[in-house]
Amino acid sequence: MKNIENEIKTDSIIFTHGDSDGICSGAIAKSAYPEAHVYFTSPVNLLKKLDFVKKFTNIIICDIAIDERTHEQLYRRLDELAMDCNLVYIDHHPLPHMRWDAEWFYHDLSSCASELTYRVLEDSLSRDMRRIAIYGAIGDFCDDTSLITDWSQDWDKRNLYFQAGTLIQSIFYVGRNYDFKRYLIEPLSNDTIPSMIPDLLDFAKDASELEEKLRIYVKAHVKKLKNIAYIMNANGYMSKSAIYASSYGGREVGVSAEYRERKHAYDISIRSRGFADVNRVVRAVTKRLGGTGGGHSVAAGARVPADSFDEFLHEFDKAIGRAGIEDIGDE
């Protein structure tokens, strides 16, 4: 990344997330800026990447949550860049306590990033790119907004879900293969349906077979605390493992954790059925334990030091119980 401006022969760059909503957001942005290079990054790495960005005319950022630890420095850096370029930052994750009200920042908690990216860049897009936004919405469990519901009426809904499923399962299958994800952006930016993109149907089939094995594994090995159910080292598809942990553990919140030897830490995926705001809870618990965490009210992720993992599980379990009671009391 240090020589990014020398390596990339374009004056436009798109930073986006590597999940289905981020890929669809990136494809929509690339449709508006066809010459742009797409770079995948994360909340904890965005500020570092931006330190090496100086001479781009257009900088588009999609679906990258704001890291609570560095949000003040990130805001200052973005404001500096906005003085000399066209900066567009599009996101739908909960914000840190600091208010972000810059003209270059577009934020909406009620929709996925793909829908919001289409709305922000609509004047530069084909109307048919709404279909890519629908794929992203399905992948991010945000397909019940008024706009997505309205747009979906322009296509056969059954085929929409087949195409979205093909794309989403393929993205799970390739994991951290960002070269392949970057390859996906180009056809999607031209509204090519996923089933026509080489390899995707085979990848989706293989991913679905692996998911079925995973479901059976979680069913047999899930563990339960008072308010959460969790699965350890299921080795694949962490968000899906968390869903199945909740289901087979009979708890409102499911947790999937995998040990990362190189970092001596656990990566964690959390899914809730709406009992409590897991974003708020995981931010508070991980901060006390020297980790990081955040996401959405019903879907979040975290990383905690390995030595603190057991404490995390029990503190998170207790905090979910307290938060659920508070949220019910607010209704």
Instruction: Say which CATH number the domain at 15 has.
Output: 3.90.1640.30
Look at residue 52 in the predicted model and tell me its pLDDT.
Answer: 85
Q: How confident is the model at residue 219 (pLDDT cuts 50, 70, 90)?
A: very high
Q: How far apart are CA 182 and CA 188, in angstroms?
A: 10
Strand order in the sheet with 265-272: 223-224, 228-232, 253-260, 265-272, 299-305, 292-295
Look at residue 329 in the predicted model and tell me its pLDDT.
Answer: 40
Q: Which domain holds residue 230?
A: 222-330
**Residue 213 resides in a domain:** no
Instruction: Say what percent of the chain tops pLDDT 70.
Output: 95
**Residue 151 resides in a domain:** yes
Number of domains in the chain: 2
**Residue 325 resides in a domain:** yes
Q: Please tell me whether residues 318 and 176 are part of one structural domain.
A: no
Q: How far apart are CA 105 and CA 279, in angstroms?
A: 21
The residue from 202, 230, 264 where one domain ends is 202
Q: Please tell me whether residues 180 and 274 are part of one structural domain.
A: no
Q: Please tell me whether residues 229 and 147 are part of one structural domain.
A: no
Look at residue 4 in the predicted model and tell me its pLDDT.
Answer: 55
Highest mean pLDDT among 246-255, 270-279, 280-289: 246-255
**Residue 212 resides in a domain:** no
Q: Please tell me whether residues 144 and 41 are part of one structural domain.
A: yes
**Residue of 134, 71, 139 lying closest to 107 (CA atoms):** 71
Decide: 269 and 242 in contact? Cβ < 8 Å.
yes
Q: Please tell me whether residues 54 and 198 are part of one structural domain.
A: yes
Look at residue 331 in the predicted model and tell me its pLDDT.
Answer: 40
Look at residue 282 in the predicted model and tell me its pLDDT.
Answer: 95
**Residue of 90, 183, 187 lying closest to 129 (CA atoms):** 187
Read off the amino acid at residue 163.
Q
Q: Please tell me whether residues 94 and 146 are part of one structural domain.
A: yes
Which position has the token pair 């605390």?
225
| CATH number of the structural domain spanning residue 257 | 3.10.310.30
Taking only the tens place, the pLDDT of each residue in 181-209 is: 999 999 999 999 999 999 999 999 999 99
The residue from 168, 202, 236 where one domain ends is 202
Q: Please tell me whether residues 228 and 114 are part of one structural domain.
A: no
Q: Please tell me whether residues 190 and 317 are part of one structural domain.
A: no
- Exposure b/e, 235-250, CB count within 10 A at least 16 = b: ebbbebbbbbbbbbbe
Which position has the token pair 């008024």?
146
Q: How confident is the model at residue 328 (pLDDT cuts 50, 70, 90)?
A: very low
**Residue 210 resides in a domain:** no
Q: Please tell me whether residues 172 and 234 are part of one structural domain.
A: no
The answer, yes or no, to whether residue 3 has pLDDT greater than 70, is: no
Does the predicted TM-score (pTM) go above 0.75? yes
Q: Please tell me whether residues 314 and 173 are part of one structural domain.
A: no
Q: Please tell me whether residues 195 and 245 are part of one structural domain.
A: no
**Residue 76 resides in a domain:** yes
The answer, yes or no, to whether residue 10 has pLDDT greater than 90, is: no
Q: How far apart are CA 254 and CA 257, in angstroms?
A: 10
Taking only the tens place, the pLDDT of each residue in 73-120 is: 999 999 999 999 999 999 999 987 777 889 999 999 999 999 999 999
**Residue 81 resides in a domain:** yes
Q: Please tell me whether residues 193 and 227 are part of one structural domain.
A: no
**Residue 61 resides in a domain:** yes
